[in-house]
Each structure stands twice: as C-alpha cells, then as structure tokens.
C-alpha cells in the first residue's frame, strides 16, 4: 500500500477519535489522537494513539464556516489548523493526498469543522506507551471491535 493509502486507512480506523494535540513541523508532525474504544483493546488503561507524519508535502484545512457570508476559510499554518481539537469523521484518498472530514466544538471559533487535506512521505502509529503498531494490527483491533459492537 502507498503512504496515502495507509494514511486513509489510519484515519478511517480512528473515526470518532479526536486529534487532541500536536507538536513538530512539516518535516515531522506528531498528533495525539484520543480513541479510547480502540486504545483500550490494547491495554484497558489506554485512551489514545500517537501518529507521526513525516515529510508533509501538503496540509490545509478548509473550514466549514458558520456564517456563509464570511466566505471560505482556508488554514495552512499548523498552529491554526490544530488550534481546536478536531473530531475525525471520515477519510478518503483523493489522487495524491487524503481528505479527512472533521468536526470541532469550540464555540469561540467561527467554524464547526472542515476538511483536512494532507499528503506525506511516511506515517508511523504508536500506542499510548509509544510502542509501534502496524496497519494490519490496527485493522485487526478495529475489525474485532466493530464485530463485537454489532453483536
């Protein structure tokens, strides 16, 4: 699988999770994503995952503005994009990047969510104790969760 396909898979698996915080830059961006329903499948005390995006070539956030007359709002600086916690809704690969639909609940901001478009050279995912996880393992715990949830 390509890096963008892996990126789509990771964000799809973590839907309903929230990007709580970030650090780094476009060379190496670290995201803390809370997703307790999956994290606790690794360890009952876990609540989140860490995603490391390496070599970001594209990142922007197109906000869903509350007042349409204010026009489109596109954020490109990391500090602006992640100024609010972003709830992950869906992820879809578009040509050479991934679009992640997000909501956000900070009423001080003039938008209720938006689409995060990004492309990178590499991606790593770690559990709460910083142990590396594979895409296959993430797929497995997600599939097991949703099977059990369905029953």
Residue 29 confidence (pLDDT): 98
- The upper half-sphere exposure of residue 138, i.e. CA atoms within 13 Å in the direction of its Cβ, equals 24
> From the CA atom positions of the chain, what is the Rg in Å?
15
Residue ranges making up the domain that contains 121 = 3-150
Residue 149 confidence (pLDDT): 72
The torsion of the CA quartet 90, 112, 37, 20, rounded to 10 degrees, works out to 110
Q: What is the pTM of this model?
A: 0.93
**Residue 66 buriedness (CB in 10 A; 0-12 / 13-18 / 19+):** exposed
Residue 135 confidence (pLDDT): 95
Residue 87 confidence (pLDDT): 98
Residue 45 confidence (pLDDT): 97
Q: Which residues pair with 50 in a beta bridge?
A: 32, 126
Question: What's the structural domain count of the chain?
Answer: 1
Q: Which of 24, 46, 71, 36 is nearest to 130 (CA)?
A: 46
Residue 16 confidence (pLDDT): 93
- Please give the angle made by the CA atoms of 125, 129 and 133, to the nearest 5 degrees: 30
Q: Give average pLDDT by consecutive 10-residue segment, the chain, 151 residues.
A: 93 96 98 97 97 98 83 90 97 95 93 96 97 97 86 70
């Amino acid at each position: 699988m390509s890096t963008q396909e892996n990126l789509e898979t990771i964000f799809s698996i973590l839907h309903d999770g929230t990007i709580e915080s970030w650090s780094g830059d476009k060379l190496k961006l670290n995201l803390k994503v809370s997703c307790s329903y999956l994290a606790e499948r690794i360890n009952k005390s876990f609540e989140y995952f860490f995603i490391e995006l390496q070599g970001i070539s594209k990142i922007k956030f197109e906000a869903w503005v509350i007042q349409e007359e204010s026009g489109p709002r596109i954020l490109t600086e990391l500090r602006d994009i992640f100024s609010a916690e972003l709830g992950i809704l869906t992820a879809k690969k578009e040509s050479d990047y991934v679009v992640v639909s997000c909501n956000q609940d900070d009423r001080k901001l003039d938008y209720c969510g938006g689409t995060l478009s990004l492309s990178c050279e590499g991606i790593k995912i770690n559990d709460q104790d910083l142990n590396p996880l594979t895409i296959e393992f993430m797929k497995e715990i997600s599939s097991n969760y949703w099977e059990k949830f369905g029953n």
